[in-house]
Chain A
Amino acid sequence: MQRKPLLGAIAVLSAFLPGIIATSSPSFADETIKPAVVYSTGGKFDGAFNQSAFTGAEKFKTDTGIDYREFELRNDTQSQQAIRTFARDGHDPVVVIGFQQASALAEVAPEFPETRFAIVDMVVDQPNVQSVVFREHEGSFIVGMLAAMASNSNTIGAVGGMDIPLIRRMTCGYQLGAHYAKPDANVLVNFVGTTGAAWNDPIRGGELTKTQIGKGADVVLQLAGGTGIGVLQAASDAKILGIGSDANQNGLHPGQVLTSMVKHVDVAVYEAFKAARDGNWQPGIKSLGLAEGGIDWALDENNRDLMTDDMEVAAKKAKADIISGKITIHDYMIDNTCPN
């Protein structure tokens, strides 16, 4: 009598066993992947770029139950060490956030040919590296249009973080978009600095914004990571409109943020983790833009009232035209110049 339930249990188990084995063959990889993220300077709570990466990693964790390791860079020199340590500890895939880490990754990746790496925002040409780049100029084109249409003074501004081609590409798209909507719009562009510290200096970001406001700007786009918090704050204090970037920042100052240029780093991180788990991870360049949903502009309850019908229609039309190829936007990074 005692053995009966046991036998029953075995019977039940054996009935399910093939199923278990079948489903666990992909999830065999489940147990072994040990993903890791190395954030860029600015920290994972910068409310923008890094935070978006963090959101993606967290989503993966909730969806799959697979935990991940992370490292926040205090300065660029830690990058190589952080990546190498993760790789040596058997973490795979290792996702590296930010263009600053490209040289470090290029150095480390060949040392661990079995480890799958991914880098966001830069191309590293190695057989075991996936490079995820965004066509940010497509998104900044649209927010540039919206900014020019929302502006009463016909002057709009942009505050970039570090003066690098990647950010110039966005400011260039912003200018082109503004001029597409209003050919005579005046676009001011300033940069916070030339080192990694430029991503984490909200006071200076605020000062630059006040400077642009002093020159007449009444819509200011932030492209400066953690520094951007100061930009949006200064815009909100001066009762003009800010524009967020990287993450959806409309909610930071409801009614004072016109829109946000959303860059789905979260999707990039999530996809890299997921592909590694499912075993269909591919090295090479992955370019994400409006068409792939990697870039978008944000419209929600926080900025609904700021957006007129004209603006919404124009933005949606431009988006469709960019996807269909009717509008082509000059990419600053091709020739390091911006037309006009």
Chain B
Amino acid sequence: MENFELVILLLDATLRTSTPLILAALAGMFSERSGTINLALEGMMLGGAFAAAAVAYYAGSPWVGLLAAIAATIALSLLHGFACITHKGNQVVSGMAINILMSGFTALVGIALFAQGGKTPALDKASRFQPITLPGAEAVRDVPILGPIYFELLSGHNILVYIAFFAVPAAWWVMYRTRFGLRLRAVGENPGAVDTAGISVVLMRYRAVVCSGVLVGMSGAYLSTAQGASFLQDMTAGKGYIALAAMVFGKWRPFPALFACLLFGFLDAAATRLQGVILPGIGEVPVQLVQALPYVLTVILLAGFIGRATPPKALGRAYVKER
């Protein structure tokens, strides 16, 4: 029974840690499926996290912060699009430039606004996303097995966690069941054919990066106004890149990407729990080993189990009408 509870708590933490990855991986998917490499996820996440924390602090509402985060990341997406789609710049370079820019820019604005070394002031309860208790959670709390699953695991997360998990089927539906999704995928595979059909490749790609901006903005807001309570310089700590890896892992498809994110989230959650645990025959697990575990497993899984990941054909290539 005690072990069961530990597993529930571990899965609970998995949901929390994988939420920003899921949102960012979906964001990457929208952009990359349309043919625009989005290495800027990390920087956009930072921008979103900063905008959310700063605006939520002034406005006293996490929702206003969330809107600000989305606005900021859409602006960054448009910047990325302007460089890569309109001016056909190198997409990797533009993405990295945004990452480097945002790492410094958020701190700069933070120092100018709050004079706390790039941090934003800690948010109070009213300006953060609070845990939501699902209906009936308290009532079933003491029911064996199902009670803890519902109460601990499913209930008690903040709204962005639920949005992230809802976003996966939604993204799937948009991508595979709507005209917009079909065109978006076509633009990433064979932009020439889309152009021949009389649809603007440039406009399609812009719409895709805007979708990407909306999702990654939520992911940033989650870090600073839901999971955390303030913005700290470089607080994303590589999550944007991990999300990108999860997307590649998931072969640019929503559900496999979700599982990849959950796997990364699980490994991260497990890593924090394995620390100091005494394993039979080995003794106490060293922190170093625990920390390396997610990466080791990633390499093993990538090498052996995932198979070939085929990117969209036109990925990374700007569309040129005539040569």
Please report A residues at the B interface, Cβ cutoff 8 Å. 43-46, 72, 163, 188-191, 193-194, 197, 200-204, 206-208, 210-211, 214, 226, 229-230, 233, 252
Contacts and interface: CB of A to CB of B under 8 A. Distances in A.
A202 B236 CA distance: 10
20 contacts: A43-B233, A72-B117, A163-B287, A163-B288, A188-B276, A190-B275, A191-B275, A191-B287, A193-B287, A197-B237, A200-B232, A200-B235, A202-B235, A204-B272, A206-B227, A207-B17, A207-B272, A211-B13, A230-B228, A233-B229
Contacts of B117: 43-46, 72
Interface in B1-44: 6, 9, 13, 16-17
B230 A214 contact: no
Contacts of A226: 232
A45 B287 contact: no
A189 B287 CA distance: 11
Nearest to A209: B272
A206 B272 CA distance: 11
B232 A202 contact: yes
Given A44-B117, A197-B237, A233-B122, A202 B228 contact: yes
A211 B276 contact: no
A20 B6 CA distance: 73
B233 A200 contact: yes
Interface in B232-284: 232-235, 237, 268-269, 272-273, 275-276
Q: Which 3 A-B pairs have the closest CB atoms?
A: A45-B117, A214-B9, A43-B117
Given A194-B288, A202-B230, A207-B268, 14 more contacts: A43-B118, A44-B117, A45-B118, A163-B288, A193-B291, A203-B228, A204-B272, A207-B13, A207-B16, A210-B13, A211-B13, A211-B272, A229-B230, A233-B228
Contacts of B233: 43, 200
Contacts of A252: 122
Nearest to A191: B287
Contacts of B288: 163, 194
Nearest to A201: B237
A32 B230 CA distance: 41
B116 interface: yes
B237 A203 contact: yes
A208 B223 contact: no
B205 interface: no
Contacts of A214: 6, 9
A44 B230 CA distance: 16
B272 A200 contact: no
Interface string B211-234: 000000000000100011110111
Contacts of A194: 287-288, 291
A2 to B, nearest CB: 52
A337 to B, nearest CB: 13
B183 interface: no
A150 to B, nearest CB: 22
Contacts of A72: 117
Contacts of B119: 43, 45
Contact of A190 (B6, B9, B228, B272): B272
Nearest to A162: B287
A105 to B, nearest CB: 23
Contacts of B229: 233
A203 B287 contact: no
Contact of B276 (A189, A197, A229): A189
Nearest to A200: B232
Contacts of A230: 228
Nearest to B111: A45
Interface string B288-301: 10010000000000
Given A45-B119, A72-B117, A188-B276, A203 B223 contact: yes
Contacts of A46: 117
Nearest to B286: A163
A72 B111 CA distance: 13
A46 B233 CA distance: 11
A200 B119 CA distance: 11
Contacts of A203: 223, 227-228, 235, 237
B17 to A, nearest CB: 7
A45 B116 contact: yes
Contacts of B116: 45
Contacts of A191: 275, 287
B228 A206 contact: yes
A233 B227 CA distance: 10
Contacts of B276: 188-190
Nearest to A43: B117
Contacts of A201: 235, 237
A291 B286 CA distance: 35
B227 A229 contact: no
A40 to B, nearest CB: 13
Instruction: Identify which of A163, A201, A210, A211 gathers the most chain B CB atoms within 10 Å of its CB.
Output: A211
Contacts of A200: 232-235
Contacts of B234: 200
Nearest to A188: B276
A201 B272 CA distance: 13
Instruction: Identify which of B16, B17, B118, B232 gathers the most chain A CB atoms within 10 Å of its CB.
Output: B232
A193 B116 CA distance: 25
Contacts of A189: 276
B230 to A, nearest CB: 7
A189 B247 CA distance: 34
A44 B287 CA distance: 27
Contacts of B269: 207
